[in-house]
Amino acid sequence: MLQAIDLTKRYEDQQLALDALNLEIKEGEIFFLLGANGAGKTTTINLFLNFIEPTGGKALINGIDVTREPLESKKYVSYVSENVMLYGNFTARQNLDFFAKLGGKPNLTTEDYYMRMREVGLQEEAFEKKLKTFSKGMRQKVGLTIAIIKDAPNILLDEPTAGLDPKAAAELLQILVNLKRQGKSIFMCTHDIFRAKNIADRVGIMKEGRLVMVRTREEFLEDDLEKIYMNYMQEMVIEKS
Amino acid sequence: MIKLFIKKELLENIFSFKFLIMFLLMFFSLNTAIFIMTKDYKARLQNYDILKPSKNEAFAITYPTPFSIFAHGLDDNICNLYQITFGGQIETGSQKQAINKIYNFFNTPDLLYIINIILSFCAILFASDLITREKEQGTLKLIFSNGIKRPAFSLGKWIGGYITLIIPIVLSVLFGLIFFIILAKIPFQFSDFIRLLIFLFFVLVYLAGFFSLGLFISIVSRSSAFSMFFSLIVWVSLVFIIPRSGNLVAKQFINIPSVQTIEIKRSQIFIKAIFEYINSHYEKSKIPQGIINQQNDKIREDYLNKLNAVESIARKITSISPASDLTFLCTDLCNTGFREEQRFKTFVIMFKEQVKNFDSDSDGNLVGDFTPFSYARSPLSDFFNLAMMLHFSILIMYILIPVILGYYAFLKFDVR
Amino acid sequence: MFKELLIKELADKIFDKRFLWFTILCMFTLLITESVLLNDYKTERNDYNLRLLTQKEFIDKYAHENRIGDMLDIQRPPAKLRLFAAGISSDMEVNTFTNNSFNVLFPPIDFVLIITVIYSLIAILFSHNSFSGESENGTLRLILSNQVSRVKLTITKFLGGMLSIIISLIISLAIGVIYILMDNSISLDSNDLMALGLIFLLSVFYISIFYLVGMICSAFTGSSSSSVLLSLFIWAVFTLTIPNLSPWVASQLYRVPSINKFEKEVKIIKGIERDDLGRNLCKEVYEKYPDLLNIIKSAKDEKLLLAKLENNIGLKNEYVAFQKEIANAWDKANAIQSAKSENISVDFFSKVDRQIALTKEISCISPVADFSYAVSDMAGSGIHAEAYFKDIKKNFEVSLWQFVEARVAKIKKTDVMYDVNKYIDIKDRPEFSFREENVSGRFSATLSYCIVLLVFNALLYLTLIRQFNRMKV
């Protein structure tokens, strides 16, 4: 379970990156955060991972305050970033092995890793290949496998589908649906409104650091989500001009 | 957890392009250095056998030490042939080996040079992107999204990186030792191996300093390109600029005459004394040996005092740089440094005092029945003294300061 | 099109933060180096003047034929442009008990070092991502999608980058030169300034070699991180390893016996062996004059002998003949032994010359060696400059000896009791004056090195074009 209570971040240059965010993502829920570049999506994730300190409010993972107990809270969260390069000189299996041990899963065997990689749809012959030879989609799948292996109750994804072809993106999202069925809370930042429509339980739209709208699946299926999103985007353009 | 990071660091680096290039560079340069200096040592040993004085010659010379293979230092000066002549003058052959002219343009490629310059280059370059690269490839975020303590990560990084750095060095040096020294039957005794171990220990400490500096720069830099650039600037300053300007800067403080001036004065003393002796029609009261000896002693002492003063100032200035600290430590350890040269010179002067009153033939060569000059290089126990501790502690500082600063910088490190 | 590309490249480099950093570093280092070396030059010149003065006073007071050679040791004035290339310092040439060893362990810093180490490193750091960086950004495809040929792109990239480095070089060099010009105690004439200009050109040729190396690595690997490593590796091998190793390798390929051994042999030939030979020859003379010998032996001292000889004219003539024969015997012994030692030394020094030539040739495979030889010769502190001085010195010494011999002959006419240990007045002897070689002479001496540097440039440029044409965009 992920919780944000009045979570605020103001940078040194006084720019307000996140303005009193209140949000709760329950077990078995997929939450999609939509928004333009610089709207504050990545800041939110950085706050949940304690990569930056909030200037106000708090972020809770499974009820644990991340600023107070950063190390403890990270047991319950895994992270998939945009365009992760990983260790180019390691094979996919070596990368998994290293991060599994970091994630507190020291006893996994090679067979376990192979199984997980098969699950996310990686080709068998890629398992022992160096990661620098991988395509973007394959790398992203390894990144996701890392998150799956950690088996944490919460998963944070930062635009994981950026730059992927439609097929790869669809496969990736299918995995998220499977994870949701296992009871994970999934928080994903994206521009990809069409995918959001397909699998999200709830969708939030963020603009200039504020969460301006949250719709549940039922609500946004009724409304035209694309239209709402477009409206917000246009407003911004108009305001700016 | 630290173990995991060390293991990862080793695996990641050993199969990298950087490691391969470093290994090639180190292996090639270290082994060529050992090979060339071994050959040079043998040639000088032959030369010594030729020049070794027979019983009635007032020559002072000592054997080249096999340690000059590692740190050549001032061994050419120390192994110079000195002759005590009429009036207690200490003379050498007038010229140096002509090839020295070309050597002047470059550094002696001994093991110490390779370590001092090339290996420190490798060490700082190797460390300079250890953190920035993790950041650029996004793995740093991933690592800290797990509950990892930062000190554990940085310590693992340090140890793992350092081990990968020294593996090629240790392998290359071992290879060089086995093939060029043990198989070539260079006269090495067991106690010499202790000296060698200390030498290697200093080298490892020295490289740890550069490695830590590189890592610190990597922590405080935003990008790999900048951290590499900055590391190289630091490297150039520490390895080239400071040690090489120290000598010149020290000369600004003390006015020291050139060697040529001293030589002119020395020859004038001799000519004048003889001239006056002859033109006073060989009066006994004016026998020139005493005068020549006395005046020579005076200018030599005067000059050597000034030289020592310059040396001690230069030593202080250059000590800022770990490269010169290593040079001082290793040349002293290998008995090819300033201390050894001074010690040898005092022995030569003592020998001169012994033989100066013997008769001479028409060319000024002393003849008589004196005990030939003999000299043994200083024992290992002499090496441990205050100056050595000082240089060593500066080397340690070069590890400690970047490590401590880096530790705190890394605690505040912005992972984003 | 050409202009736009050039300006973009130049602006790209000049507005790089690193440009400012290293220009400051180089300026600072050069300024410190120049100020310290300038002081050093002044002390050295004072030392030289002092040497001349002591020598002059000494000769005026104590000149005598026997040791005049030792007194008239011609001194070499310090070269003005030693400020830029330390080269061979005259102190290091002398081998004495009182050597200054610090120079051996820590050779002094100079302009050559700043170019060979700092600037070449900077050149690599600037050029290693000229193609790979743009290819990673995607701008390379964008540029080549316009009407730009690949050759043109390499030219503009090379010129633009080099221009930025040249600007920084000009700034730091100009500040260094202005600092020197402001000091009144040293005057640079047109000859020196022209030499400086040539040194600047040489530096540009040298730096461009490494700029090209970086570009080639960039085109070859296509990735910034590998290309920087590869080019730094090449840099380390060519500037830190090969130039230092090659003279040693060469000198071991072609061995020359040690000079100590040679000098020892010569000393024996001219010393003990000559004495033995002379004594044997004298013995033959003694056998010819048994009676005279008895008289000489019986006479207690010189005055008695002279008195005896004055009384007997026949005996006196015999004595003169005897003396002449003894002198001839010694002359003969000297001539034989000198010829012998001359043979040995011709043989030895021809070997030495061959060794030096070979060593120089082998070390020329490293641009650092070419550059240091060329700059030091241009500055008047190199091997060629030393040989030039020695030539002039030799000519002067010959004329000086002629002067001394003429003076001695003149004195001998009036003074019967003359001997080689008597004072002779040579206050009016010719003065030695040395002017450094003019620029054209220095230039022709360094021409071969310049050509090698240019050939390096040309070859690397061709490689670059080949490599870049193969590069996948």
Nearest 5°: the CA angle C397, C398, C399 is 90
The ipTM assigned to this model is 0.88
Contact B146 A74 (CB under 8 A): yes
The model's pLDDT over C290-347, given as tens digits with 9 standing for 90+, comes to: 877 777 777 766 677 777 777 777 777 888 888 888 888 888 988 999 999 999 999 9
CB C121 within 8 A of CB B231: no
In this structure, what token pair is assigned to residue C377? Answer: 């010769």
pLDDT at position B332: 92
Q: Check if C428 contacts B (Cβ < 8 Å).
A: no
Q: Check if C278 contacts B (Cβ < 8 Å).
A: no
The model's pLDDT over C178-198, given as tens digits with 9 standing for 90+, comes to: 888 888 888 888 888 899 999
Q: Mean pLDDT highest for which of A130-139, B138-147, B200-209, C383-392?
A: B200-209
- Annotate B90-110 with three-state secondary structure: EEECCECCCCHHHHCCCCCCC
Residue to test with chain A: of B18, B142, B412, most A Cβ within 10 A: B142
Average pLDDT taken over every residue of chain A: 85
Contact B147 A156 (CB under 8 A): no
The contacts of residue C37 (CB under 8 Å, 6+ apart) are B248, C82, C83, C86, C108, C110
Contact A84 B142 (CB under 8 A): yes
pLDDT at position A237: 61
Per-residue pLDDT band at A162 (split at 50, 70, 90): confident
What residues of chain B lie within 8 A of the CB of C108, using their CB?
Answer: 244-245, 247-248
Per-residue pLDDT for A241 more than 60? no
Q: Which domain holds residue A18?
A: 2-240
pLDDT at position B286: 65
The model's pLDDT over B38-79, given as tens digits with 9 standing for 90+, comes to: 888 888 888 888 888 777 778 888 889 989 889 998 888 888
Per-residue pLDDT band at B284 (split at 50, 70, 90): low
Closest CA to A99 of A116, A83, A82, A118: A116
CA distance B126 to B122: 6
Phi, psi of C141 (to 5 degrees): -60, -40
Domain boundaries, chain C: 2-255+435-470
User: Which residues 237-266 in chain C show a CB within 8 A of chain B?
Assistant: 237, 240-241, 243-245, 247-249, 251-252, 255-256, 258-261, 263-264
Contact C43 B251 (CB under 8 A): yes
Closest CA to B103 of C277, C399, C363: C363
Nearest residue on chain B to A146, alpha-carbon basis: B142
The model's pLDDT over C30-60, given as tens digits with 9 standing for 90+, comes to: 888 888 888 888 888 899 999 999 999 998 8
Per-residue pLDDT for A143 more than 80? yes
pLDDT at position B200: 92
Looking at A34-43, B112-121, C47-56, which range is the least confident one?
A34-43
Per-residue pLDDT for C144 more than 70? yes
Q: Check if C44 contacts B (Cβ < 8 Å).
A: yes
What residues of chain B lie within 8 A of the CB of C51, using their CB?
Answer: 258, 260-261, 264
The contacts of residue C301 (CB under 8 Å, 6+ apart) are none
Per-residue pLDDT for B94 more than 70? no
CA distance C91 to C96: 10
pLDDT at position C324: 85
Per-residue pLDDT band at C356 (split at 50, 70, 90): confident
In the sheet that holds A64-65, the strands lie side by side as A16-25, A2-10, A56-61, A64-65
In this structure, what token pair is assigned to residue C151? Answer: 């050759």
Per-residue pLDDT for A21 more than 70? yes
Contact A83 B142 (CB under 8 A): no
The contacts of residue C447 (CB under 8 Å, 6+ apart) are none
pLDDT at position B176: 86
The model's pLDDT over C220-243, given as tens digits with 9 standing for 90+, comes to: 988 888 888 899 999 998 888 888
| Size of the B and C interface in Cβ pairs below 8 Å | 284
Percent of all residues in chain B with a pLDDT value above 70, rounded to a whole number = 98
What residues of chain B lie within 8 A of the CB of C423, using their CB?
Answer: 275, 279
Closest CA to C209 of C466, C456, C408, C411: C456
CA distance C218 to C135: 10
On the CB side of B326, CA atoms within 13 Å amount to 32
Per-residue pLDDT for C204 more than 90? yes
What residues of chain A lie within 8 A of the CB of B148, using their CB?
Answer: 71, 74, 102
Q: Which helix (H) or strand (E) holds A58?
A: strand A56-61
For residue A117, give the CATH number of its domain: 3.40.50.300
C neighbours by CB contacts (3+ pairs under 8 Å): B
CA distance A173 to A169: 6
Provide the residue type at C339 as one letter: A
For C74-137, the DSSP string reads PPPPPPGGGGT---S-HHHHB--SS--THHHHSPPP-HHHIIIIIIHHHHHHHHTTTTHHHHHH
CB C206 within 8 A of CB C116: yes
What residues of chain B lie within 8 A of the CB of A46, using their CB?
Answer: 416
pLDDT at position C18: 82
CA distance B355 to B86: 10
In this structure, what token pair is assigned to residue C317? Answer: 């003539």
| Size of the A and B interface in Cβ pairs below 8 Å | 74
Nearest residue on chain C to B98, alpha-carbon basis: C352
Q: Which of A70, A79, A89 sits opposite B12 (nearest CB)?
A: A89
Q: Check if B146 contacts A (Cβ < 8 Å).
A: yes
Average pLDDT taken over every residue of chain B: 87
Per-residue pLDDT for B319 more than 70? yes
Contact B138 A84 (CB under 8 A): yes
The model's pLDDT over C386-430, given as tens digits with 9 standing for 90+, comes to: 889 989 999 999 998 899 889 888 888 887 777 778 888 888 888
Residue in the structure block whose two tokens are 């190390």: A71
Work out how many domains chain A is built from and give that number: 1
Give the C-alpha distances (Å, rounded to integers) separating B32 from A98, A149, B185. Answer: 39, 50, 18
The model's pLDDT over B336-381, given as tens digits with 9 standing for 90+, comes to: 988 899 899 999 999 988 888 888 777 777 888 888 888 888 888 8
Q: Which of B4, B141, B149 sits opposite A81 (nearest CB)?
A: B141
